[in-house]
């Protein structure tokens, strides 16, 4: 199938260039759709393991910055037409026969959008498992593929601070292991053969920080996420922007369909290999030095190679990462990394700092409205409970405020510290 564009990602960006969608979001949503189309069928071989093409991307910006809108073209209008409902077979009346147009009847894509429990997600992945004979041969084990893309327009509806199991599940899905065992309380054990989950979500800075489990850093989930942070002003709607034509959408579907038919290992072109190898050997300078990114840096090379696969596949089906692909990858990643500390600065202790600040403001405002020099401890405790995710943190939070000098507690009364 001949491609219509020299660069699928670039074509997606051009299609929305006069829209209020920030360019970084247009780029990363398109890259995510490419990663989802490649699935487990394309990988980068390393000496002891393979790096999958899947990405975990979180678009982070204040409200009104069109995070969710940026998902519409690459996923709702393009990717979705190359999918069939989870669990449908070729002879099922719900099977998407439109896949014939793109040569994907035997290899449909799978997409889940918005709210889903980890249990349902795991079960859905067992329903889409297929053996890919193109990648199986008598000398190696059968190649199973359970690739699925997950699109979450509201980060907080999927991930929560108490979701410890989900955190472990997502960590294993990023790794694209040979198989994954999932136990449920009611339906027993499920085995996902060849799991590969591609994930993109949207969040405000507060939603991102407040809904990440506190041990997301130590347990490895945070280092597997690419937080794309945008702090620019809201882009106004431009009425001169043309409606994206059906022809453009059809052309994009055609090209993503070509990407979805790729399979096999991806490697560097000979001219690109030496440069990439030197860059990696020298820790991909400039290397982030912010302490928030220490865990991310441990997987930084894997992230670069994952993105490089999508950049290459966006331009051609040769499964070769060319020199220009590597240069583009570095440009994209360096730009993203510059803003990563801003996305993560609220993680951990900074969240407690926000609660302390809000409680001091509330305390002073309440004293003014009640015309008192104090607030009753019971009332103060109720307000703290409204702001923390885990009720078990109540006493610890109040004690930290006292020990840090923000408040004083005398009997049943809470006073603001004179130093604040």
User: Tens digits of per-residue pLDDT, 246-301?
Assistant: 999 999 999 999 999 999 999 999 999 999 999 999 999 998 888 778 889 999 99
| CA geometry: angle 271, 11, 204, nearest 5 deg | 100
- Pairing type for strands 130-131 and 179-184 reads unpaired
What is the DSSP code (8-state) at residue 43? E
User: Tens digits of per-residue pLDDT, 366-407?
Assistant: 999 889 999 999 999 999 988 776 787 888 889 888 888 889
Question: Of the candidates 82, 66, 81, which has an alpha carbon nearest to the alpha carbon of residue 16?
Answer: 66
Relative orientation angle of helices 349-370 and 377-387, to the nearest 10 degrees: 140
Q: pLDDT tens per residue, the chain (420 residues)?
A: 699 999 999 999 999 988 999 999 999 999 999 999 999 999 999 999 999 999 999 999 988 899 999 999 999 999 999 999 998 888 888 999 899 999 999 999 999 987 888 888 988 999 999 998 888 765 567 899 999 999 999 898 888 877 778 888 999 999 988 999 877 666 678 899 999 999 999 999 888 988 887 778 777 899 999 999 998 888 887 777 788 999 999 999 999 999 999 999 999 999 999 999 999 999 999 988 887 788 899 999 999 999 999 999 999 999 999 999 999 999 999 999 999 988 887 665 456 666 787 788 899 999 998 899 999 999 999 999 887 767 878 888 898 888 888 899 999 999 998 655
Residue 392, classed as helix, strand or coil, is helix
Which CATH number is 8-344's, of 3.20.20.70, 3.40.50.300, 1.20.120.420, 3.30.1360.20? 3.40.50.300
**Does 1.10.10 match the CATH number of domain 350-416?**
yes
At 120 the pLDDT is 87
In angstroms, the CA 383 to CA 364 distance is 13
Total-model pTM: 0.82
**DSSP sequence for 56-77:** EEEEE--TTS-TTGGGIIIIII
**DSSP sequence for 83-151:** B--TT--TTSTTS-GGGGGGT-SSS-B-EEES---HHHHHHHHHHS-EE-GGG--TTS---EEEEEEEE
Residue 337: CB atoms within 10 A of its CB come to 21
- Pairing type for strands 144-152 and 130-131 reads antiparallel
Enumerate the domain spans of the chain.
8-344, 350-416
Residue 175: CB atoms within 10 A of its CB come to 18
* H/E element, 210: helix 205-211
18 alpha-carbon distance from chain centroid: 25
What the block records as the tokens of 223 is 């280092």
């Amino acid at each position: 199938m001949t491609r219509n564009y020299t660069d699928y990602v670039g074509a997606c960006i051009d299609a929305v260039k006069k829209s209020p969608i920030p360019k970084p979001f247009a780029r990363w949503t398109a890259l995510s759709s490419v990663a989802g189309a490649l699935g487990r069928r394309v990988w980068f071989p390393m000496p002891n393991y393979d790096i999958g093409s899947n990405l975990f991307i979180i678009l982070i910006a204040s409200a009104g910055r069109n995070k969710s809108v940026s998902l519409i073209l690459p996923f709702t209008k393009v990717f979705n037409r190359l999918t069939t409902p989870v669990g449908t077979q070729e002879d099922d009346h719900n099977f998407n026969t439109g896949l014939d147009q793109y040569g994907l009847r035997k290899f449909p894509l799978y997409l889940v959008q918005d709210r889903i429990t980890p249990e349902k997600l795991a079960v859905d992945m067992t329903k889409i498992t297929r053996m890919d004979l193109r990648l199986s041969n008598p000398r190696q084990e059968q190649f199973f593929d359970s690739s699925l893309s997950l699109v979450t327009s509201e980060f907080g509806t999927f991930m929560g601070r108490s979701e410890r199991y989900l955190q472990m599940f997502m960590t294993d899905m990023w790794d694209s292991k040979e198989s994954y065992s999932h136990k449920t309380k009611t339906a027993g054990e499920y085995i996902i053969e060849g799991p590969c989950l591609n994930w993109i979500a949207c969040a405000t800075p507060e939603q991102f920080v407040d809904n990440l489990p506190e041990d997301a850093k130590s347990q490895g989930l945070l280092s597997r996420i690419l937080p794309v942070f945008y702090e620019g002003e809201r882009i106004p709607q431009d009425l001169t922007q043309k409606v994206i034509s059906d022809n453009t959408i059809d052309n994009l579907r055609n090209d993503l369909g070509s990407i979805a038919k790729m399979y096999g290992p991806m490697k560097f072109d000979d001219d690109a290999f030496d440069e990439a190898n030197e860059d990696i050997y020298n820790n991909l300078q400039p290397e982030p030095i912010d302490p928030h990114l220490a865990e991310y840096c441990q997987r930084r090379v894997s992230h670069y190679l994952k993105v490089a696969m999508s950049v290459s596949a966006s331009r051609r089906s040769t499964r070769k990462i060319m020199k220009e692909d590597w240069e583009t990858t570095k440009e994209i990643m360096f730009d993203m990394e510059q803003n990563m500390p801003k996305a993560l600065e609220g993680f951990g202790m900074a969240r407690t700092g926000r609660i302390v600040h809000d409680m001091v403001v509330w305390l002073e405002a309440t004293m003014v409205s009640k015309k008192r020099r104090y607030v009753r401890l019971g009332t103060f405790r109720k307000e703290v409970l409204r702001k923390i995710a885990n009720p078990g943190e109540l006493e610890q939070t109040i004690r930290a405020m006292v020990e840090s000098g923000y408040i004083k507690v005398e009997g049943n009364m809470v006073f603001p510290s004179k130093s604040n």
